[in-house]
Each structure stands twice: as C-alpha cells, then as structure tokens.
Amino acid sequence: MIRAGIIGASGYTGGELMRLLARHPEAEVVAATSRKLAGTRVASEHRFLEGFSDLMFEDISNEEIKNMCDVIFLAVPHGTAMNYVPELLEDSKCRIIDLSADYRLDTKVFEEVYGLEHKDPRKVVFGLPELHSHEEIRNSRLVANPGCFPTGASLSAAPLAAKGLLKTVIFDSKSGVSGAGNSPSATSHFPNLTENIIPYKMTTHRHHAEMVQELSALQPGFTDVSFTPHVIPATRGILTTAHIFTTEKLSQEDVAAIYKEFYKDKKFVRVINGVPSLLSVRGSNFCHIGFEADKKSNRVVVMSAIDNLVKGASGQAVQNMNIMFGLDETTGLLEPGVF
Amino acid sequence: MIRAGIIGASGYTGGELMRLLARHPEAEVVAATSRKLAGTRVASEHRFLEGFSDLMFEDISNEEIKNMCDVIFLAVPHGTAMNYVPELLEDSKCRIIDLSADYRLDTKVFEEVYGLEHKDPRKVVFGLPELHSHEEIRNSRLVANPGCFPTGASLSAAPLAAKGLLKTVIFDSKSGVSGAGNSPSATSHFPNLTENIIPYKMTTHRHHAEMVQELSALQPGFTDVSFTPHVIPATRGILTTAHIFTTEKLSQEDVAAIYKEFYKDKKFVRVINGVPSLLSVRGSNFCHIGFEADKKSNRVVVMSAIDNLVKGASGQAVQNMNIMFGLDETTGLLEPGVF
Amino acid sequence: MIRAGIIGASGYTGGELMRLLARHPEAEVVAATSRKLAGTRVASEHRFLEGFSDLMFEDISNEEIKNMCDVIFLAVPHGTAMNYVPELLEDSKCRIIDLSADYRLDTKVFEEVYGLEHKDPRKVVFGLPELHSHEEIRNSRLVANPGCFPTGASLSAAPLAAKGLLKTVIFDSKSGVSGAGNSPSATSHFPNLTENIIPYKMTTHRHHAEMVQELSALQPGFTDVSFTPHVIPATRGILTTAHIFTTEKLSQEDVAAIYKEFYKDKKFVRVINGVPSLLSVRGSNFCHIGFEADKKSNRVVVMSAIDNLVKGASGQAVQNMNIMFGLDETTGLLEPGVF
Amino acid sequence: MIRAGIIGASGYTGGELMRLLARHPEAEVVAATSRKLAGTRVASEHRFLEGFSDLMFEDISNEEIKNMCDVIFLAVPHGTAMNYVPELLEDSKCRIIDLSADYRLDTKVFEEVYGLEHKDPRKVVFGLPELHSHEEIRNSRLVANPGCFPTGASLSAAPLAAKGLLKTVIFDSKSGVSGAGNSPSATSHFPNLTENIIPYKMTTHRHHAEMVQELSALQPGFTDVSFTPHVIPATRGILTTAHIFTTEKLSQEDVAAIYKEFYKDKKFVRVINGVPSLLSVRGSNFCHIGFEADKKSNRVVVMSAIDNLVKGASGQAVQNMNIMFGLDETTGLLEPGVF
C-alpha cells in the first residue's frame, strides 16, 4: 500500500483526496494535517467520511510526515508550497504532488504573475497526463498538479494547437464555487450567487499563464489567449466555452476527426456528440468535450466539462500518483459521474 | 411626505425597507444609518437602488435622527433596540417601528426566552395587523414588528384558534437563507446549502414564544405548539407546513369556510385553492394560505407562504407605518409577487 | 386609461405584461387571450395575480380585440404574429407592440434566418428606445419589440460601435431558463439544469441577426459578431459577457468615459463600477453595465445584466407603449430590482 | 459474475442501478430494456456512463431476459411489475428485485391504497435489510424493494418503535425532485421549483402505508402516523423531519443510547452528532440520522438523510442483491457521499 499524507487536509481538495483515496485499492491516507483543526476527527469536518476514516487532523513536522509517507499531497495556498518542498524532498524518499501553483510555471513567469519571489526555483513536470509524458511524471519526485481552469481549457484547445490551427482563443469559463474554497465569502454567500452568474478577474486571472504555457508548447509561438472566468450557482464543475478562431476553415467533421484522433488513447477524456454536461462528470475524473464548427466563419466553439475538484484538482493528483508509482493511471478512478 | 429614518440600514431588512419606500407615494427615506458603512453610498451596498437613491450611510446620534424623521425603523439586532427606544421617544414626536424582538413579548417571557434583562419594559402593540387592532397600532408611538416565522405560522393557524379548534400544532417551517442576514456564514455558504435543506434549533427557536402568544390570545389556554425551522436553498420566502390536530374532525369545506370568513377583509392574506408557492409572493407583502383536511383523522395540514423580508419584516413594517399615519394600509404595497 | 389587450397571455411574457401593467397608473389590461386556457381565471395560471385581476382568459377574434383596445401586445411565437398584424391594423386605431421576431429584421434577412416566407413585409421601427428615435416609435402604429439577447448584447457594445471602435465581438451570453417559456422540457427539467450550465445553438442562434443589425447601424460595415448563448440555473436574467476586440487600445478610463457619455440620458441603463449582478435588476426594467479593459491587449470585457422578461421583453414593451402614447417612458416602470 | 438485467432501464433508478453496478466487483449488467429507447446506446441516455457501457437498450421478452440473467431488477411503474413477476419466476432460476410498490404491502392494503386489483398476491419480504431478516432475504426469489420515503422515515423512528415508545409521529419529508422521474413536468420545471419548496399529497401519499406497516411491526398496535412530503429544489436526497411524541419523556442521552444500540451493527446507518446533511450521503447508500430531544415536552425531533436514488431505491436494491447472492451486503457500495 502506498502511504499517503496530505498537508492542508481541511479544505475541499484535501477532503476530496480523502474521498478518492478511501476507495483506492493501493493507497491509504496515513496523515492529514491541519493547524486549525488539529486534534479533531477528519470525519467531523468532511462528514461524507463518517464511517470511512478514524483519522485525526494533526499538526506535525515535515520531518515526521516525510518519514511516514510514500507520497505527500500539498493542498496549501500558492506561495506556501515552496516553503515545504525542499525540506520534504531532502533526505527522504517521499514523493510530492503539489496542488498549488508554485511549481507549475517557469520561475520567471511565476514571479511576474504571482508577484512573489520564488524561493525554490526548479524545473518541474506539469502534471497534466494527457499532454505530458507519463515517463517524465513517473521519474519525478515532484509533480506540479495543474490549475482547475487550465486543465479544462487546455484540453479543449490542445488538439487544434497540436495541428498548429489556433489563431485566437477566448476561454469563457464557468466554475462551481467550490473553486473558491470552503471559507464563507461574499461570492459564496448563497443570496449573492443563487440565480446569478458572477464574472471575476475578467482580464487578469493568473491561470491564464498556464493556458498560454500549455498551448504554446503544442503550437510554438501561439500566445493569443484571452481568459474570463465566471462563478456559477453550482458547487462542482467547470464548463469552458472556448471560442476558437482558426487559421483555416474547419468543418464539423474535420474537428471531430482531429479530436477523436488526439484523444483516442486517453482514458479520462471523452469526445462526445452534442453538448457536455457538468452533471455527467460530477464526482468523476473525466473530461467530456463537445464542439460545433461555425459554418459561416473560421470559428469553432469547443466546450469542455470537468469536475474542478476531481479532474481539476484531487482526481488528477491521484492520477499523477498512479503514474508515479507505476500503477495503471485509472486505478481507483474509474467511477462514473454522479448526475 | 412622511420622513423616514432607518437605524441599521446596511442589512437585508434595511435594504428592503428602502426598496419598498422607493416606490411609496407618501414616504421617503431621509436617513440611513450604519456605523460600518458610514460615508459610503447606500446604492453601493444595495445595488438594486442604483439610480433610486443618492443617500449616504451615516453614523448619526439619536438626537439628530429623531429630529429629522417622522418615523424611525429600527433594523438592529435583538437586545439592541431597547437601548435606542427610550431616547428616541423622549422629547420628540417621532414614531418607532422596531423590527427586532425586543418589544414583541411580555417582558418576563422576553427575559426568559432571550436570557437578557429588559432595560425598557413596556407594553407594546404586536404589529401583526391581521390579528391586532388597527386603532391600537394607529395610536401607538412604538410598534413591535413581528418575527418572520411567527407571521407565517400565526396566520396559518389563527382562524382555527379563533374558533377554539386547536388541540396540537406542529409548525414545520422552511425559510430562505436571507433570514440569517447578509453576513457570510457556514449556513449561507453556497456549497453547504445548494441541493440541501438544513434543520436548525429544532426544539429551541425563540420565535416559538411569539407563536404561543398569538395563538393563545385567540384561543385562551392553548399552548401545545411545537416549532421546527429549516433553511432551504432559496433567498426569500417562508413556507410553513402546519400540522394541526383539531378538537373536532373538519372537512375540507369546513376549513375553507372558516379561513375565508376569517380573512375576508384582510387585504394581504389570500386563501387559495391548492398549494401556495413562495414564488407567487416573492417580493410582495402577501400571505397565501392553502390547506388539506385529512379525511382519516382530526388533522388539517395548512400551508402559508410569505416573503420573509416583506410580509415577514420590512413590508409588514411599512404596513404598520401606513396604519400609524392614517393611510390606507396597502399604500405603496399593492404589488404582485415577482415569480 | 390606455386599454391594453394581450394576445397569447398564458405564457411568461404575457404574465409579466400583466404584472407590470397591474401597477401602471395609465393603463389597464382589458383582454387576455389564450386558446388553451379560455374560460379560466388569469390568476389561476399566473398565481402572483391573485387579488389583482379578475380577468378571464378568452378566445376572441381580431375584430373584437381591436375594438376593445388602444394597444395590443402580441405575445405569440415567431411566424405567427405576421398573421395577426394586418387584420389588427386595418380599419382600427389600435396600436401594436409585437414581442415576436416577425418585424424585427429586414424582410430578406428575416426570411433567410427564420426559413419562412414573410406574409406581411413592411418596415417597422425596432423598439430598443436607447438606440432608436423616440419620435419614430411615437409615430408608429406597429413596433417590433427586440429579442432578449439582442437587447443586452446590443446595449453592451453600442457605445463602442457609435465611436467606430469595434473590430471583433464575441457575445457569450448566459440566460435564465424562463426564456425558453413555461412548457416543461428537457432543458427546463430541474435535474438537468441545477448545478449545470448548458450551451445551445453555439453558432446558429437567430438572435445573432438582430445584434449585427443594431451594431452595424451604429458602425457602418461592422459585422464581425459571434454569439453563443447558455442556459443557467436561474429563472430570470441574462448576463452577457462581451469579449470586444477594439480597433484601438483603450484604458479603463477611456471606456468609462465613452459609456457614461453615451448613456447619460438613458433612464434604464446604468453604467456601474464593478461587475453587474442579475439580482440587482431582477424584476426591473434596468440594464446594468460594467466593464474591464485588458491592460495587455486591445480587448475590453463588457458585461450587461438585464431581466430577460422585463427589459428583455415585457418591460421594454411597456416602455415602448409609454413612448407611443406620449407618456414619460418610465411610467409604471421605475421599480428597483428585487434581489 | 452475477448477470443482472434491468427491466425499465431508461429512468433514473435504472440509470442509477447501472452506475452502481459499473463499479460492482461481482455483478455486471447484461440486459437493459426500454421500449421507448430500444436500439439506442445506454450511454446516450445516461451520459455519465460514457466509456463505461457499450450496452444498447433492448425490447426483449420475459423468456429471453430470464434466461440471460441471474437477477432481474424491475424498474417499472407500480401496477406493472405484477404483470412481469409470475412469468419471470416460472421455469427459471432467476431472482427478482422489484423496485415498484407492487409487493411491498399486504395484498388487501395494497388494493385499498393503490385502488387496483392485485393479479399476483403473495407474501414477499420487504427489502429493508436494517429492519428485516437477512436470512429471509437470502432465501427469497422475489424481494420487494421499499419506497424512498418509507426507507428514510422508518429508519428514523424504528429504534423508538422497537422500544414501544411511539405515541404520535408526524413525518414531514423533503425530497429531491428525481423522485418524480426523468420526464419533464410542471413540478420539475425549473422556474417552478427553484427558490421554492412544494408540498404535495399532504394527507394522502401512498407511502404512508409502508411506514405504518414497518413501525407497527416493531411496535404492535401503533398506527398514529401522519406523513406530508415536499419537493425541494434538489435532484437527490430525502430529509425526513420526524416529529415524534413519545410515551415517556426522553433526554438527549436516552435517545442517543437507544439509536446507537439499535444501529450498532448496521453498516449503512450512521447515528451522528448534530444535523444530517443530504450532501454527505449524496450518491451513497448511507443513511445519516441525528436528533434533538425537546427539553420541555415528550417530543423528539429525529432527522434522517438518504439519497433517494441510492438507499431509497437502487443502492438498497443492490444491497438486497448482495444479500440474496451470499455476498457481504456492502459489496460495491462502500463509497463515501459526493458532497
């Protein structure tokens, strides 16, 4: 059994990691840290774990946790993970999957986008296994788990990027509010969100940089990406509507052929007919992708649906863990969505 | 024009008072106090007032506000209103409508229920105009505006109480979350409330005392009232399901006759066929009441629907203001619900 | 009093017309037609009208209704209105406000977009009073009330079009499901829509033609408009996120100046700071507009919020009626939103 | 592998059976019937099964399906199942789990409650494994799977019934709308349900009979049960608020002791502190139960939360299948809820 630890386990991604690992046949959670909740039962906070876990939240040192665990998930805010990583890696064999933004970007880009000095610059594999080498992930001690928006957005445009067909891309994304965490705020205040949809950071969201990084890796030189996120009255899920202007006019059949070919061996991406639904992927690690080519112009509208807490965070982290430990990438993750 | 002031105007009931008074032909808001937001535009907080109000939140003394206003609405927490009232009434002509709990109950009952010493014990009319004398309201300088739950619950059972028919009553109420105010909390956190329904204070909610007070006034000696509230994933509205065991078996026609007779002159209560809908009264001062007599037992299920912020708070306060100032009680309030 | 008739009064726009006219000081509804519901009380279908209307749905002839009414609202499906209009106008003085699509577009464009032969080609004023001459509306016997999406979209981009600044516009719109009418369907089925957002007609929605018409009228030759609508889990409201690429780089201040100047005399459009909220305009005839200029590119994200049933349909129809009958355009419509 | 067939597989309970069996290690679905959808892919209707099932809906005879299957789930309307059962049982070894109401009640009670003649009267075990003998279930070829409301309601009151403590019980239940099936209707029409809560069959719901049956079996002679259901704006889940008047005054500790003892060996019932949440059991086969004893009266408020499609239907059916086939009752069902 893989012994897993979670640093920052009281939040939504921490809880979701424990939900997913509760049913994983090859891994078990042996440590869940939280300063705030140290000494209380994990299942008192994450009520869906009632009867599944007797674990207590702990406040333990890096030294302790790295000796207890084969893999450590970092579910801490950006700017914080870089304080843990060097110590956790040193004199240990444990491997790390960082769910924060700290190691996702080229250091210079990170410092510019996040306005922080990076204390631990290093080159780390971007753990989006549909677009990056599994071998590289397997050989890494540290994997940077992608952001939720970049996962859905990159997967929606990658097949066209790989063909060099992108000219201009506008990602208009709609996210469930769990992406904002489990602390009550004005945005998550029910009367503000119900029957509403709330745009935010319309031109300045930091996840933009990950999208440019991923698409320009596939289509060198391509950077004409705009990104505008919205919060919708839903807990889970990101629907990305990608308005893609292409360098050539494409028919519906052209697009279908390109997407089906690109994703033909990817277990967690389903190219579907029609419009993807957040409800079909809820609770699951799947990404459903649909599209419609505009008959009158060089535009394709591509839509991707993921569960932001699963494929957009904790599920993808478990997928990376599986790859890192030589398991089939789907181990413990082959569950249909709960509509 | 009646010059109205609102003490504690930054919350939902304050905002709702301003919405309702914005369209009132005989009153205007001249002062809106908020310590926290003093100096900012009222319309910056209550965005629906954009273009309707240039008022600023102020932090002004009792002395000042009582000289500016003909009527003052107290939209402050319970235990606080009693600190304002004596000073506001003294050496002034202004009249007060208190939306808090401070003056709703007999002093002894209040002290027991709220666990507080009452600093200003006095007998005050309970401003539920369908059950209390309009003349008494008109002649009062201070009116205690009822709680939201007691309004819907009392109206649902009052006709049977007036006939002495109540044996046992269980009020199972379902409220929109705006009743909990505009500060984000665990209950109002969208992921906790969506697709859920949350019981709370199942046997101990303080509004119980107002229900007993109102029903025992109509049916002397009757006190067998249970009350269990729930929060539903909605902003506005309270549906009360009253499970009423009666002293006699009543047919559907019996109940219809009793309710239609009791409410025949009440402008804001509509006895309807079928099941009342929160959406039909949303934003309005109406209470819709429906019922079904159990053919097999001495039970009637009565359902009342109100908007907790209107008939359950600010609309009823305006209704009381109208009566106090000799206007038709419906002035400015005859608006259909916004489904 | 203006005597108003509504043909097709059983649907949402019909009900909304009656809600708005119930509080209009200068108009009253004297006839509400519905074949399906003829003989039943209007308030039995539109429950929020309980106590406001004793009207019955009728199935009456054009002859009858045009003699009873000063103004007739056509709330019938597209392709149907053109069957009513000629007869209603002939030998009568009544005026018509058509809420369908039949007279909104140039006849040729209409026939192409709707795939129908137009039986009554004529040039009709487009009743978007913020962009069209009030005098022309006043002098018309027939006004074409705009579509819901084109209202919000056109208002969001019009100020830039008037300056000739549009290069490429993508309207990504999010609508409440009431736009799909009051007949239950797969899209409006609660389990399909809750916690979801559903794109539809991603490249082929017919309202696109109205947007092109309105913007090209302001910026001759401009046609580079894409439009993708979505249904959100809400009843009312359309938020349009307009991704606008401009011919020049504009600062936040530039955009603010252009929008404030353009809308300075428009009573129903509010240019606001920050992000507009559907909840602030719910139930009201207002359009709130916010924006953010991208500092790094020639892009502005403009967001408009309207209530699709009010400013997007019935409220705008009443606004047109007011203008047609020489009243202030705001008569009966100056109500804040019901958050 | 247990070969499972589903008759009536296009509905929600059919889809949910396939979701649950997709992850069951000892069973697989080999036939899914639907007249309406025969010839189409199961995953086209139940989109969450994309990639999990290549099955097609079929319209096959009883003869065929009983030869293909070890177990058949009947997911058909009440009054219909009794037409299938005799033929399916005859000359076959297959076993049947009936999710309809046909075999849940004593024949006479069934005929009275459902107003139908029973064509196949026989005594069948009621498949609520927490209250009925596993051995009896194991030895049955036909099991009657309980109704959704009776499951949550009976579990909430059973421990007190087993002690003979019930005097009067009012079940006020709140259900997600998936209980009404996947056909769009007025109740499931989004604009009617959002921000609302809809009582229905306030005194006449047929599930009442199952509750009386189960509780009177535990407390002979007890029949004073009232039941009023509501639909809430949620897809999944039933919260039952049981207002229980007891024959003796009970403290919070008394109640806790009784419930913990009664359910100590039941894997799918968790007696929790505080208020149960529908979100904690969503998608899972668990029932969470909380309670509060009224300090002032002989009343206990007990609350149970289940997922109506899982513990209230398909999950319980799989639990029964497990017992019938000698597996651990939890096989394939030990999944935490997806909050």
CB-CB neighbours of D251 under 10 Å: 11
The CATH number assigned to the domain holding B76 equals 3.40.50.720
Question: Which is it for the CA torsion B207, B208, B213, B218, positive or negative?
Answer: positive
- C157 by DSSP, 3-state: which? helix
Within a 10 A sphere around the Cβ of A253, how many other Cβ atoms? 9
A259-284: pLDDT as tens digits: 999 999 999 999 999 999 999 999 99
Task: Note whether residue A131 is domain-resident.
Answer: no
Q: What Rg do the C-alpha atoms of chain B give, in angstroms? A: 19
DSSP D249: -
Low-confidence ranges of chain D (pLDDT < 70): none
Instruction: State whether A296 and A164 are in the same domain.
Output: yes
**Rounded distance between C-alpha atoms, residue B63 and residue B61, angstroms:** 5
Is residue A38 assigned to a domain? yes
- The total domain count for chain C is 2
**Where in the sequence is the domain holding D235, given as residue range(s)?**
149-308
Which amino acid would we find at residue C215? L
**C-alpha distance from D33 to closest chain C C-alpha (Å):** 22
Sheet holding D238-246, edge to edge: D198-199, D225-231, D166-175, D238-246, D299-306, D287-293, D269-271
Which domain-ending residue is among B123, B141, B168? B123
Strands (DSSP E) contained in chain A are 2-7, 27-33, 57-58, 71-74, 95-98, 125-126, 142-144, 166-175, 198-199, 225-231, 238-246, 269-271, 287-293, 299-306
Output Rg (C-alpha) for chain D, integer angstroms.
19
The DSSP output letter for B41 is B
pLDDT-based confidence at residue B102 (cuts at 50, 70, 90): very high
Closest Cβ opposite residue C336 in set B22, B195, B286: B22
- Compute the average pLDDT of residues B77-89: 97
Over residues B209-232, mean pLDDT: 98
Distance CA C22, CA C52 (A): 7
Integer angstrom CA distances of residue B230 from A77, B292, C63, D68, D157 = 35, 22, 54, 48, 20
C234 touches chain D (CB under 8 A): yes
Q: Which residues of A touch C200 (CB under 8 A)?
A: 275
Nearest to A195 among C228, C234, C293 (CB): C234
What's the whole-model pTM score? Answer: 0.97
Chain D hits for A288, CB-CB cut-off 8 Å, are 47, 50
Confidence of residue B202 (pLDDT cuts 50, 70, 90): very high
Domain assignment of residue B327, yes or no: no
Instruction: Express each pLDDT in B260-281 by its tens digit.
Output: 999 999 999 999 999 999 999 9
Q: Cβ distance B110 to B210 under 8 Å?
A: no
CA triplet B53, B59, B65: central angle to 5 degrees?
80
**Would you call A203 an interface residue with chain C, using a CB distance cutoff of 8 Å?**
yes
- HEC string of D44-60? HHCHHHCCCCCCEEECC
Regarding whether A192 and A101 lie in a shared domain, the answer is no
Contact A334 D286 (CB under 8 A): no
- pLDDT tens readout for residues A118-127: 999 999 999 9
HSE-CB at B173 with a 13 A cutoff on CA atoms is: 36
Domain check: are A221 and A293 in the same one?
Answer: yes
Q: CB A170 to CB C243 under 8 A?
A: yes
- Dihedral of CA atoms D15, D16, D19, D22 in degrees, nearest 10, equals -90
Considering chain B, what percentage of its residues have pLDDT values greater than 90? Answer: 100
C-alpha B336/C-alpha C314 separation (Å) is: 15
Count of beta carbons in the 10 Å neighbourhood of residue B202: 25
Q: Which of A249, A225, A239 is nearest to A298 (CA)?
A: A249
Q: Are residues A222 and A109 in the same domain?
A: no
- What was the pLDDT predicted at D36? 95
Tokens describing residue D22: 């997709």
Taking CA atoms, C281 is separated from B285, C256, C285, D287, in Å, by: 20, 21, 7, 41
Q: Which of C251, C225, C262 is nearest to C240 (CA)?
A: C225
Same domain, A36 and A89: yes
E strand or H helix at D205, and its extent? none
Q: What does the radius of gyration of chain A's CA atoms come to, in whole angstroms?
A: 19
User: Which of the 8 DSSP states describes residue A55?
Assistant: -
| pLDDT for the residue D203 | 97
Residue B78 and residue B187 in one domain = no
The tokens describing D244, both together, are: 């229980």
What tokens does C300 get? 């502005």
Q: Which of C300, C284, C304, C153 is nearest to C239 (CA)?
A: C304
Domain membership flag for residue B131: no
Contact partners, residue C38, CB within 8 Å, separation at least 6: C56, C57, C58, C59
Min Cα distance D195 → chain B (Å) is 4
Option in A195, A275, A339 nearest C278 (CB): A195
pLDDT average, residue stretch A300-311 = 98
Hey, how many other C-beta atoms are within 10 angstroms of the C-beta on C252?
14
Give dist(CA C185, CA B192) in Å, integer.
28
Q: Based on the domain organization, do B113 and B175 belong to the same domain? A: no
Residue A243 contacts C where some CB pair is shorter than 8 Å: yes
Cβ atoms < 10 Å from Cβ of B313: 26
D287 an active-site residue?
no
User: The domain spanning residue B165 has which CATH number?
Assistant: 3.30.360.10
Answer whether A282's CB lies under 8 Å from A236's CB. Answer: yes
Mark whether A117 and A171 lie in a shared domain: no
SS3 category, D330: coil
Q: What is the pLDDT of residues B4-57, one digit of tens each?
A: 999 999 999 999 999 999 999 999 999 999 999 999 999 999 999 998 999 999
The reply to whether A203 and A291 lie within a common domain is yes
Q: pLDDT tens digit string along C111-166? A: 999 999 999 999 999 999 999 999 999 999 999 999 999 999 999 999 999 999 99
Strand (E) positions, A112-223?
A: 125-126, 142-144, 166-175, 198-199
Is any Cβ of chain D less than 8 angstroms from the Cβ of A77?
Answer: no
Q: How far is CA D220 from CA A222, C176, C332, D131, D202, in A?
A: 76, 52, 65, 15, 26
How large is the average pLDDT for residues A215-236? Answer: 98
What pLDDT sits at residue C68?
A: 96
Residues C310 and C303: beta-carbon distance below 8 Å: no
D211 with D274, same domain? yes
- The closest of D104, D42, D101 to D77, measured between CA atoms, is D101
Which of C196, C230, C251, C255 to substitute to test the interface with A, most A CBs within 10 Å?
C196
C-alpha distance from residue C200 to each of B326, C213, C231, C278 (Å): 55, 22, 8, 20
CA B32 to chain centre: 20
Residues of D in contact with B235 (CB under 8 A): 195
Amino acid residing at D319: Q
Residues A37 and A175 in one domain: no
A228 pLDDT band, cuts 50/70/90, is: very high
The strands making up B142-144's β-sheet, listed across from edge to edge, are B57-58, B27-33, B2-7, B71-74, B95-98, B142-144, B125-126
Q: Please give the sequence-ordered ranges of beta strands (E in DSSP) within chain B, or none if there are none.
A: 2-7, 27-33, 57-58, 71-74, 95-98, 125-126, 142-144, 166-175, 198-199, 225-231, 238-246, 269-271, 287-293, 299-306
Return the pLDDT at B26.
98
Is residue B145 within 8 A of residue B95, CB to CB? The reply is no
Count the neighbouring beta carbons within 10 Å of the beta carbon of residue C78: 19
In a domain, B314, yes or no: no
**pLDDT on residue C217:** 98
The pLDDT value recorded for residue D197 is: 98
Calpha distance A170→A224 (Å, rounded)? 8
C-alpha C97/C-alpha C2 separation (Å) is 14
Any chain B CB within 8 A of the CB of A180? no
- Name every residue whose Cβ is closer than 8 Å to that of residue B87 and which is 6 or more positions away in sequence: B62, B63, B66
Residues of chain C with pLDDT under 50: none
In a domain, D10, yes or no: yes
Considering just the CA atoms, what is the radius of gyration of chain C in Å? 19
3 state DSSP class of A225: strand
C281 falls within a domain: yes
| β-pair partners for C225 | C169
Q: Which chains lie within 8 Å of chain C at 3 or more CB pairs, if any?
A: A, B, D
Residue A142 tokens, joined: 């540290």
The half-sphere exposure of D45 on its side-chain side, counting CA atoms within 13 A, is 26
Tokens 């529908």 locate to: D278
Q: Categorize the per-residue pLDDT at B79 as very low, low, confident or very high, splitting at 50, 70 and 90.
A: very high
Tell me whether residues D186 and C184 touch, CB distance under 8 A: yes
Between chain A and chain B, the number of residue pairs with CB atoms below 8 A apart is 51
Query: Distance (Å, rounded) from C-alpha B288 to C-alpha C49?
Result: 12
> Are C47 and B286 a contacting pair at CB < 8 A?
no
Asked if residue C195 belongs to a domain, the reply is yes
C-alpha distances (whole Å) from D36 to each of A143, B29, D56 are 49, 62, 12
Residue at A28: amino acid letter: E
ipTM reported for the complex, 2 dp: 0.97
Count how many Cα atoms sit within 13 Å of the Cα of residue B20 in the half-sphere of its side chain: 32
A105 and A175 share one domain: no
